[in-house]
Amino acid sequence: MNIFGIGLPEMALIMIVALLVFGPKKLPEIGRSVGKAIRGFQEASNEFQSEFKREAEQIEQAVKTTAEIEPKQIEPAQPQQDTANSSQTS
């Protein structure tokens, strides 16, 4: 079990210190508050991620549409005539 880079022994130590500092009556309330804060952070992160993906898809679609409307025109290569050779043969 590894939450935020903290292993089980570290979590146990944090819980013991929190129990000593806040007492057994306040600890469940603090746990709920921390849980709600973490859940809110995760929801905001997921919302940001989905919004970012949605915008990236819109930009990709706009690029595809633009590429279809204005295709690149490739000019065929024209052979170069050597003027020095043509004047000598005449």
Q: What is d(CA 60, CA 50) in angstroms, rounded to the nearest whole number? A: 15
pLDDT per position as a tens digit, 44-81: 999 999 999 999 999 998 888 887 776 665 555 566 66
- CA quadruple 37, 40, 41, 42: dihedral sign: positive
Residue corresponding to tokens 């050597």: 82
pLDDT in tens, 3-47: 667 788 888 888 888 888 888 888 888 888 888 998 999 999 999
DSSP SS3 for 71:
coil
